[in-house]
Amino acid sequence: MKKIILLLLSLNLVFAQLDNPTRSLTIYKDNFALVNEPIVWNLKLGRNISSFTNLSQNLLFDSPVLNVEGVQVLSQTLNRNFSSTDTFLKNNIGAAIEVKPNDGSNVQGILMDYNGSTISIKTNKGLVVFQRSQLSYFILKSSSVQDKFTPEIRWEIISDDDKSVNAELSYITSGFSWKPIYTLTINDSDSLATLSVNAEVSNNSNINLFALDLDVVEGNVPLHSSRKNSSYQMMESRGSAMENRASLGDFYVFNLGKNLNLDAMQTVQLPMMKARSITYDKKYIFKNSERDQGDEPLSIEVSFENSAENNLELPLPSGVLYLYEKSTAGELNFIGRNGLSQLYKGGTAILDGGKAFDIIGKRRILNFDRQTNSEESTISLQILNTSNQSIKVKAIEKIVGDWVIKESSSMYIKEDASTIYFPLEIEAGATELITYTYKKEWK
Fold of 280-306+347-441: Immunoglobulin-like (2.60.40)
Model-level pTM?
0.72
Q: What is the pLDDT of residue 250?
A: 57
Q: What is the CA radius of gyration of the chain?
A: 31
Nearest-angstrom CA–CA distance, 103 and 335: 39
Cα 26–chain centre separation: 14
What tens digit of pLDDT does each residue of 320-350 get?
999 999 887 788 889 899 999 888 889 999 9
Task: Please name the helix (run of DSSP H) or strand (run of DSSP E) that holds residue 309, with its range, or none.
Answer: none
Fold of 85-142: SH3 type barrels. (2.30.30)
Query: Using CA atoms in the order 398, 401, 404, 406, what is the torsion angle rounded to 10 degrees?
Result: -70
End-to-end CA distance of the chain: 93
Q: How many CA atoms lie within 13 A of 208 on its CB side?
A: 14
What tens digit of pLDDT does each residue of 29-64 get?
888 999 999 999 999 999 999 988 888 888 888 899
Q: What is the pLDDT of residue 105?
A: 85
The stretches in the chain having pLDDT less than 50 are 1-21, 145-146, 226-241, 243-249
Q: Which residues, including other chains, have CB under 8 Å from residue 362's CB and lie 6 or more apart? A: 294, 295, 380, 381, 382, 383, 384
CA distances from 271 to 186, 216, 240, 242, 358 (A): 20, 12, 8, 11, 37
Q: Which residues, including other chains, have CB under 8 Å from residue 105's CB and lie 6 or more apart? A: none
Task: Please name the helix (run of DSSP H) or strand (run of DSSP E) that holds residue 9, with its range, or none.
Answer: none
Q: How many CA atoms lie within 13 A of 325 on its CB side?
A: 17
Say if residues 217 and 252 touch (Cβ distance below 8 Å): yes
Q: Please state the domain extents for the chain.
A: 85-142, 280-306+347-441
Nearest-angstrom CA–CA distance, 201 and 175: 11
Say if residues 202 and 238 touch (Cβ distance below 8 Å): no
For β-strands 251-262 and 209-218, DSSP reports them as antiparallel
